[in-house]
Copies of this chain bind each other. A is one copy, B any other.
Amino acid sequence: MTGRWVGDHNLALLTDLYELTMAGAYFASGIGGEATFELSVRSLPPTRNFLVAAGIDDAVDSLQIMRFGPAEIAYLETLGRFDAGFLEYLASWRFDGEVWAIPEGTVCFGAEPLFGVTAPLIDAQIVETLLLNTIGFQTLVASKASRVQIAAGGRPFVDFGARRSHGADAALRAARAAYIGGASATSMVLAGAVFGIPVTGTMAHSYVMRHSSEMEAFLSFSRSYPDDAVLLIDTYDTVNGAGVAVAAARELAAEGIRVRAVRLDSGDLAALAAEVRAILDDAGLPRIEIFASGALDEHRVATLVAAGAPIDGFGVGTAMVVGADAPSLDIIYKMVHGPDGPVMKTSPGKVSLPGVHQVYRVSGADGWEGDIIALIEEADLPGVPLLAEVMTRGRRTVPAATAREARGRCAEGLAAMPAQLGDLDAAAAPPYPVDISGPLAALAARLSGETLDWRLDHRGNS
């Protein structure tokens, strides 16, 4: 087995062993038939009012290309658990199911199915780990980024998270998810190359330190990048650095080079931004913008904006790409319908909704009023259905959204959702109503033998 990285060639092994042992048992016992599994976030993190779906298209792409190649089969054989017949089956396996999903960038809520798989039982089982992993991570980053977007109040913010994300691939996908959530650009070059996201960047403290003075560093950098000179002014002392930036800007102006911005990366950003703004304005340089970074998250950005700090843009990194307040989602993938009809799990605290579902979003004159989770066979429900078919027989039926399209959908959702969901303090906002339909409640009661105490609200406190 070669290849340190997860790639198209070995994606099928991105799975928990039990997916394969169960598949092997199904294969051995001849239990077949189709089943439907649904993926959802069981309940929202306590710090969140809503989520932004992401990773949907990535998951669909993965389903389409997943194969067990010769190297993968050879490895599985070494485990000594799988008989030759099952391994032969896997060697020619490909995902052959139907997928319904919520579009990339959609604002969504706890308990709502985001991705549904109807497939031969083995197919639906094998892909569980991959789907949870892909959609869970990207959704958590897009969701976090959308909060930064709200906090920034129209000012641009840039993803700076690559260095603290959970590995190389996480950095790549986080950049895309952050862009969907509202970031205007990323510092992560590969994300620009792969996803066409705008990339941007300034300079590091080491660059300033490498020169004999800040002045020399600023001049040298600006001459190399005359169209995009952003000067980092906090390496030694921010206020002093602002003065140096002014001197550099004047010298550069004579060469026809305009300094675009200065960057603050430490200290009391609100106070320093005000001091630096005054220095720049007093020097007759009002067009030089101020860019701020350094351990920012949506709360710190909101505080800076509320304080009227003269900051024109933000760099947001670690907290956003690791989802610091919620670094995982309670994301689940449950069988909801087996070959013999709807099924339901009743483990304490882990009750699942039986049957195949659609989510309807009901709007009134003032915007969204609530979502209803209903059985797919119900007719004449109010609102707009959120899930749509994206795969049939293991093939895409609609093109993947571009990052830009998904970003647009997210922006529309943030604008249309009830305003109180934009409160960064989730506990302060009344929950968004997510209800279940009467027929669904009746089915759950019938299968569980009791009236379902399923309190669906925006925090999913079930």
Contact = CB atoms under 8 A, between A and B. Distances in A.
A392 interface: no
Contacts of A174: 166
Interface string A230-253: 000011110000000000000000
A283 interface: no
A21 B225 contact: yes
Nearest to A217: B25
A210 B31 contact: yes
A199 B348 contact: no
Contacts of A187: 16-18
Interface stretch (A321-329, A374-382, A406-414): A321-329
Contact of A169 (B13, B129, B170, B348): B170
A17 B266 contact: no
B164 A166 contact: no
Copies of this protein in the complex:
2
Contacts of A343: 209-210
A164 B29 contact: no
A162 B16 contact: yes
Interface in A41-82: 58, 61, 71-72, 75-76, 79, 81
A385 interface: no
A167 B173 contact: yes
Interface stretch (A133-141, A355-363, A425-433, A454-462): A133-141
Contact of A168 (B11, B190, B210): B11
A154 B33 CA distance: 43
A15 B189 contact: yes
A421 to B, nearest CB: 24
A14 B189 CA distance: 6
A200 interface: yes
Contacts of A15: 162, 188-190
Nearest to A20: B189
B133 A193 contact: no
A446 interface: no
Contact of A164 (B37, B132, B201): B132
A163 B235 contact: no
A429 B75 CA distance: 45
Query: Which of A137, A160, A169, A319 has the most chain B CB within a 10 Å cutoff?
Result: A169
A27 to B, nearest CB: 9
A322 B318 contact: no
Query: Which of A4, A31, A206, A338 has the most chain B CB within a 10 Å cutoff?
Result: A206
A451 B33 CA distance: 75
Interface in A180-206: 187-190, 192-194, 199-206
Contacts of A18: 187, 201-204
A79 to B, nearest CB: 7
A91 to B, nearest CB: 15
Contacts of A324: 327-328
A267 interface: yes
Contact of A25 (B21, B225, B227): B225
Contact of A14 (B168, B225, B346, B349): B168
B133 A164 contact: yes
Contact of A22 (B37, B199, B203): B203
A76 B201 CA distance: 13
Contacts of A21: 201-203, 221, 224-225
A157 to B, nearest CB: 15
A345 interface: yes
Contacts of A29: 220, 223-224
A193 to B, nearest CB: 4
A22 B61 CA distance: 36
Contact of A347 (B61, B200, B205, B347): B205
A164 B72 contact: no
Interface string A4-41: 11111011011111111110111011010001010000
Nearest 6 CB-CB pairs, A to B? A17-B201, A18-B201, A169-B169, A166-B166, A327-B327, A132-B163
